[in-house]
Amino acid sequence: MTEEQKSKKPTKNAAEKKIEPEKKSTPEKKKPAEKKDEVEKKILLVSSSPHLTDTSTSRRVMYEVVIGLVPAVVMAVYLFRIQSLIVLLSCLVGCVGTEWLFNVVRKKEQTALDGSAIVTALILGLSLPPTLPYWMAIVGSVVAIAIAKMVFGGLGANIFNPAMVGRAFLMACFGLFMTTWTLPVPEMAEQQVQAEAMELQLDTEVAAVTQPTPLALAKQAIKDAHKEDQADKVTPERVEAEIVSLFWGQTSGSLGETSAFCWLIGGIFLLVRRTITVHVPLAVLGSALVFATIAWFVNPDVYPEPMVHLCSGGLMMCAFFIATDPVTCPLSKLGRVVFGIGVGALVMLIRLKGGYPEGVMYAVLLMNSMTPLLDRWTRPRTLGGSVAKR
């Protein structure tokens, strides 16, 4: 497809050329003067209806997502300072560079700056821990774009969310680095001040490396529930104390995992701009809320309050920015709702019963693989009934 677009006349498009044999002589510019009158001398442009189109373009859609990501990026940079910049820039260079290289090598039209690689880079970067070495971030980005996107045929043809594939790859190869969390810089400073004030010799270095994320704490609480009377037992109460900081982003976690507030702002922006529809976010958050509530009702001693789940980890990020990736979620509204419910349910299943504290990545990848099936199952019903079925 893309080769044809290089043609100099932009109105020429693949459809006209390739598919319409009966119109094979339709030229783009036609009608040289036949009579001498002024009206006839005009050169007219011929193209197919409709001749008006909506102002939205795919490029614009992608850059709107980038704008929606800005609050989270700003928060990440505020919280983790230089570390976050290193990770994010590595991802940007890795993703955009890979796409550029692919197009150059395959002599395809350059799509590196169409915005989609930037979105992938930012989402991948925001889902990584701040301490990750820059070269690992680059490796993840290359995998995301090269293997998850370009090999499938570029934008629109991929089955899996590229950013999540990149993250899964890093998880598989560098598991330890991927699960090392630090407290955000401002928080660390505060703890240090407190420690000094109390003249406690707190080793901030160690504290920085071993700080568990709220969800890891929650997981610990599930395990600890069976322990009896241990001094350092993690209780759901301790986890619940984290909700407020979860919302504003003062906990440890991956770059973008820490502040539900920023994702909410970005998500609302996308909804207002109609870049995304409400179906996926509502379905994801709704189903996660339902399952978290059920678990909490069944055993409040073990499982944290539902709000902890909603505000923590990548759930908001997932609901508004990852699961909503148009390419890898179903086409119809119903399909999207089912997809979202599936993501939310899987996230909660992994968080509550699985081996990982966080389940967004696997939940999204699993549901991505269901998308072609969902598309078939949730095909909209033709108004007036289907001819084929009669």
Cβ proximity to another protein: between 81 and 108 the closer is: 108
Q: CA 254, CA 103: separation in Å to the nearest integer?
A: 31
63 three-state secondary structure: helix
Cis peptide leading into 212, omega within 30 of 0?
no
CB of 125 to another protein, least distance (A): 21
Which amino acid is residue 167, in one-letter code? R
Q: How far is the CB of 17 from another protein (least distance, A)?
A: 10
User: Least distance from C-beta 39 to another protein, angstroms?
Assistant: 5
Of 115 and 357, which has the nearer Cβ to another protein?
115
Beta carbons of 98 and 145 less than 8 angstroms apart: yes
Q: What does residue 190 show for φ and ψ, rounded to 5 degrees?
A: -65, -45
* CA separation for the pair 22, 71 (Å, rounded): 52
Q: What is the DSSP letter of 144?
A: I
Number of H helices, E strands in the chain: 17, 2
State which residue, 41 or 227, has the beta carbon closest to another protein.
41
List the one residue out of 245, 266, 258, 244 whose CA is nearest residue 322. 266
Minimum CB–partner distance for residue 369 and another protein (Å): 15
Strands (E), the chain: 29-30, 44-45
Name the minimum Å distance from CB 61 to another protein.
5
Nearer to another protein, 13 or 204 (CB): 13
By beta-carbon proximity to another protein, the closer residue of 16 and 240 is 16
In the complex with another protein, which residue's Cβ is closer, 128 or 146? 146
User: Please, what is the minimum distance in Å from the beta carbon of residue 285 to another protein?
Assistant: 20
User: Which is nearest to 362 in space by CA: 214, 211, 171?
Assistant: 171
Least separation in angstroms between residue 104's CB and another protein is 18
CA dihedral (270, 276, 277, 282) positive or negative: negative
Which two three-digit tokens encode residue 246? 């979860």
Tokens 């996926």 -> residue: 280
Cβ 331 to another protein, closest distance in Å?
Answer: 4
Binding site for another protein (CB under 8 A): 1-2, 5, 10-11, 13-16, 18-20, 22-23, 26, 30-31, 34-35, 37-40, 42, 44-54, 56-61, 111, 114, 116, 154-157, 277, 326-333, 336, 375, 379-388
198 vs 387 by CB, closer to another protein? 387
Nearer to another protein, 303 or 321 (CB): 321
Smallest gap, in angstroms, from Cβ of residue 122 to another protein?
17
Indicate the burial class of 378 (C-beta count within 10 angstroms; 0-12, 13-18, 19 or more). middle
CB-based burial label for 382 (10 Å; 0-12, 13-18, 19+): exposed
Tokens of 287: 């189903």
Residue among 212 and 326 whose Cβ is closer to another protein: 326
Q: Could you tell me if 142 and 108 are in contact, meaning their C-beta atoms sit under 8 angstroms apart?
A: no
